[in-house]
Structure 1
Amino acid sequence: MPLIAQNHLQFIIEVALILYAGVMFLLNIVPLSMTIVLFMSLILCIGFSLMFGIDTLLLLLQTGHYELTHSFGPIALLAAVTALATLPIMKESGVKTGSLRGFIVLLIIVITIAGGLMHRSFLLLWLMGLLIGYFIISKSFRQKSVFTIKKLLLFAGIGIVGFGSLEMLSRVLEMPVLSPFLRIFRIESFADPSIAMVLKNSTLFGHEHGACYWGDQCLNGTDGYITLPMSLIISFGLPFPLFYGILVSKKDVIDYMLPGIFGFTFDFGYIGLIVLLLWCLATIFLGFKILSIYREKRENGDKRLMGREALLIGSLTAFIAQSIVGLFLMNRSINGTALLTFLFLGALVTAHIMSLKTE
């Protein structure tokens, strides 16, 4: 049947279309008042604090862990920035936000510690996302510039202290898995062959035959290096090439060692990479455009869209942060379940078009 995906790329596109349609539908039938948006964002922050905390505890106890930060880190960032975005809106309405701000900051600290212990890439995404979110919030509400020397030094200091603390903790506990320098050393040792493989074998729509792990059975593209969650593919019984079990280490040649621009280029070709970059830029541009419309309506006295404005700030921030980390630092941050999250965030940003048309 023509609607059944024939490879990973087609499956990703079909799921993306379903996500876009579903999110647009839900966003326009669910009443998103400021109270509902704040409540849901706080619930998510509390939930992710517990999830990341338990996952990190399992890691420290060496009893198995699930590495939830790759998949759900951007959603946690969405929730945190959305909660922060509601504060100036509430303040404009004359609501005191001191205690609420303190509670949100506490949740952010908990997520920072728990998620940072699990993955250094999450810590980078988290701190970068908070900075981006802070900037967008300040511009949306015409606050003083966020980029003061003091604040930039504060964020840089937090990052240095965070990574330094992880390195010290890894040595004290004799747990190399916590070391942020371990990944750097691994990349120095193994990234060059991976980069050479991608640059040498990539084509417009995939890669040269036999260049991937599958050898003669290579499909010349969409060979399983970039996929949606394996459980989702298996549940539909789709006969796609998958790296599972001990084969995951073969996928790590690209997934762990290289930024996403290399991973998408190898599996989907240079055309696929260009389309991905254009989609990211278009989504970000559209998000800022809609945000400016929301701000104009709010400043003209229209209070109906304040909840949606806060949600858009959070989703746009998370999308930008995941784009930067996934595309330019670590492919795994936009692969597997994280790719599903990435598509969801893109849909959540784009869905606000329908919100404006229905107003």
Structure 2
Amino acid sequence: MRRILFFMFALSLAVSCSAAHADGIVKRVQKAVAISTLDRPGTHPFHLKAMLAPSLDRDKDSGRTGLVEIWWKSPTEWRREVSCPGFHQVQIISGGQTWQKNDGDYFPNWLREITDALMLPVPLSADLYKQMDSGEVKQLPGRTLVRNGQETHTIGMTHLSWTILSSNGEVQKGMGASIALNDQTGLLLYGGGFGWSGEFHDYQEFHKRQVARTVSGGSPEVTAKIIILEDLHAVQNGWFTAGADGDPYSIQIEFPDELDLRKNLLPQDPTPWPPTKDGPLEGVLTTEVSIDRTGAVRETGTIVSDNQSLNDAARTRIEAMRFKPFVLNGAPVQVLSRITLAFKTVRPDTPVAQ
């Protein structure tokens, strides 16, 4: 995401930045997440509606447009409707029951991620706390810059970064994760890790919660703009009741590690890596991968590679992978995981045309 890359670049250049252990920032992250999370006990019942669209005009044909609408009474009683080209879902959570009606067989991962970020900016867990504890903290003080005669004020922030490793059983590769807090307000600026990401802007108060009315994430980047956030008024009878006409198998998403993922990988005969004139001839790369309920790869994330000139070939190879369907409690499920590959190639025999 462009703003995250800018901030990380600025952090790497800031002379005044200093690295430290992450002990102190974890509590600050907990506080920032708690005050911005809508899906938690004590939140005032609400109705939320957000419109989704590509952040950049160049991505206008990406198909990443849609709608998220939520009617929420409590963490165990709510109704949500999400839609994008090719997919529409109504989901009701009532007590211990989940009811879904889906138009489309695949819940796009980009849509899931931006929808989650509206309600739960950071999915805090014991595993994430452990990752953050191993991270590095950097401080970037706010500054005033003058460009073309105009003053621009940058935000003082605390930035926490760490690495998440993934392995195919033979080699491993790390993927970066981070969280940044606004030092003035204590609120989240941005964050991202395995299966989640977001940039948070335009905070407004809603019944003692600080809610970001603009949330961006993914690649190509999508921006969700909250156009309605209001008290939940009277709703029609049965609005939060699971009906009899739901899908027999709801869409569930599991997050196995790569070694478990590869147990379902079907044999394939990949083509050789293409010659490259630049960068290392041997190395490792990794990316997130979203797999549908039939075992087909539907989305790949940003590729982190020792040689970026091979990224297109790597994406083609990963998208051609096929898996046995992943089954939970007798029903196929979607999967989000990582794929790590080693590469070995050669230089072109002849000069590459300029």
TM-score normalised according to structure 2 size: 0.23
Larger RCO: 1 or 2 (CA < 8 Å, sep 6+): 1
Q: Which has the higher helix share?
A: 1
Q: Which has the higher strand share?
A: 2
